Amino acid sequence: MPELPEVETVVRGLRGPLAGRTILGAATDWPGGLVTPDRLVFAARIAGQPVRRVDRRGKYILIALDPDTLIIHLKMTGRLYVVPDDAEQHADRWVHFTFQLDNAHQLRFSDSRKFGRVYLVSDPAQVTGALGPEPLDLAFTLDVFRQRIARRSGLLKPLLLNQAFVAGIGNIYADEALHASRLHPLRRAATLSDDDIARLYGAIRQVLADGVAREGASVNWYRKPDGTKGSAQDGLSAYGRTGQPCPRCGHPIEKIVVGQRGTHLCPVCQPR
């Protein structure tokens, strides 16, 4: 599933093509992906709304219109891209939402697994209001992180995946942050020392910043809006490297299951 770096890359790739555009209409062949409103209201309501800006909140893409906000969650296999009306793309076979723009182009949402979700709301907080802080924001300081983790006692890996704790982290960057901070995924938050917390905080910000700089990890379906791959997968230290040597100590990376999620770690660098 695309995480903060992948979604941020998509947002940056859409800002240019959508700048100054107006959505003339929308169509879907899969109303199950439209969370709110219903299909008929959705098509009538979005028509004629201009695009004001394109932002991200956690793993959500927020396209601010006037007066509403179009919110899209890519889930596992979602792709967003803008192309001329008559353009044919490989991903078109899975397009389930099409947004007609005023310049003979379309914003298309392709999703082979149909797990993605689309919302049209008057207030983005209806969808994103329960999310935790943005880990790359300047306001997300070490003190803020200490205060938030001090109230937690659960296992580290599920905690990092909890979007109400910190927004935007998924399986890839949770594994990378824990490896970078030398913390075992099954450690409990209540057992962390001040130094442990500081290392984890720094690691979270570093692996996410690196992921953004490399334009996301194309380990499965994720592609940038222009169809090309990101390169973050080339710099991963733990995720997806089962049996390969740990880049820090050389011991083979192992894979375990934590909270029903495949989890990659180095048992030497990340002792239980």
Q: Identify the sign of the CA torsion 179, 184, 189, 195.
A: negative
Task: Report which residue type is found at 142.
Answer: L
Assess whether 59 carries a catalytic annotation. yes
Exactly one of 3, 6, 8, 215 is catalytic; name it.
Answer: 3
Exactly one of 59, 79, 117, 224 is catalytic; name it.
Answer: 59
Rounded distance between C-alpha atoms, residue 195 and residue 174, angstroms = 18
Backbone angles phi, psi at 182, to 5 degrees: 60, 35
> Do residues 54 and 99 touch, judged by C-beta distance below 8 A?
no
Exactly one of 15, 152, 199, 261 is catalytic; name it.
Answer: 261
Assess whether 3 carries a catalytic annotation. yes
CA 24 to chain centre: 28
Assess whether 117 carries a catalytic annotation. no
Assess whether 261 carries a catalytic annotation. yes
Q: Is 257 exposed, middle or buried (0-12, 13-18, 19+ CB in 10 A)?
A: exposed
Task: Report which residue type is found at 66.
Answer: D
DSSP structure string for 240-254: T-BTSBPTTT-PBBE
> Do residues 19 and 55 touch, judged by C-beta distance below 8 A?
no
Task: Report which residue type is found at 103.
Answer: N
Helix (H, G, I), strand (E, B) or coil at 154: coil
DSSP structure string for 155-197: BHHHHHH-TTTSTT--HHHHHHHHHHTT--TT-BGGG--HHHH
Q: Which residue(s) pair with 118 in the sheet?
A: 34, 72
What residues act catalytically? 2-3, 59, 261
